[in-house]
């Protein structure tokens, strides 16, 4: 089966129009993304996603208005509201020469208002941290 994106329900949602997203990466193979809680959420603490065993991550274009130009649009990304997992990832395959074992890697893609976040890692967890998204990201990465 060719590369495609499927919904990866992590049980969290965030503010879709002003997520105040903060992405931090450490040299210990961890990447943290903190975003504001969804307005309908009774828990108003920041939503934090933490990837471990990270081998690749990026944040950047396109924003929500140009999402149709992303290479995964038309491969399932267009239906993902929160987090998608890229199955049969071409990017993971391209890392095979640099990473000892790619079989346990997951390629996650998140669409945000002002950009997109992609992470290739061994695992992802979620939690809630009080305060601003900057504080939440720093706290969880530490």
Among candidate residues 92, 18, 21, 6, the one with its CA nearest the CA of residue 55: 92
How much is the pTM? 0.94
Q: Tens-of-pLDDT digits for all 142 residues of the chain?
A: 899 999 999 999 999 988 899 999 988 899 999 999 999 999 999 999 999 999 999 999 999 999 999 999 999 999 999 999 999 999 999 998 898 888 899 999 999 999 999 999 999 999 999 999 999 999 988 8
Counting Cα atoms < 13 Å in the Cβ hemisphere of 78 gives 7
Question: What three-state secondary structure class fits 53?
Answer: coil
pLDDT of residue 107: 98
The tally of domains found in the chain comes to 1
The length of the chain is 142
Spatial distance between the Cα atoms of 142 and 140, rounded to a whole number of angstroms = 5
The answer to whether 54 and 117 have CB atoms below 8 angstroms apart is: no
* Structural domain range at position 75: 4-141
């Amino acid at each position: 089966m060719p590369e495609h994106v499927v919904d990866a329900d992590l049980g969290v949602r965030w503010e879709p129009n002003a997520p105040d997203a903060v992405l931090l990466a450490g040299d210990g193979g961890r990447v943290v993304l903190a975003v504001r809680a969804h307005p309908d959420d009774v828990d108003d603490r920041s939503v934090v996603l933490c990837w471990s065993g990270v081998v690749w991550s990026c944040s950047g274009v396109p924003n929500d208005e140009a999402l149709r130009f992303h290479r995964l649009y038309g491969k399932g990304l267009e239906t993902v509201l929160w987090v998608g997992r890229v199955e049969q990832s071409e990017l993971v395959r391209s890392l095979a020469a640099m990473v000892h074992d790619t079989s346990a890697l997951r390629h996650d893609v998140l669409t945000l208002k002002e950009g997109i976040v992609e992470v290739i890692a061994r695992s992802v967890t979620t939690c809630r941290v009080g305060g601003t998204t900057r504080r939440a990201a720093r706290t969880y990465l530490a």
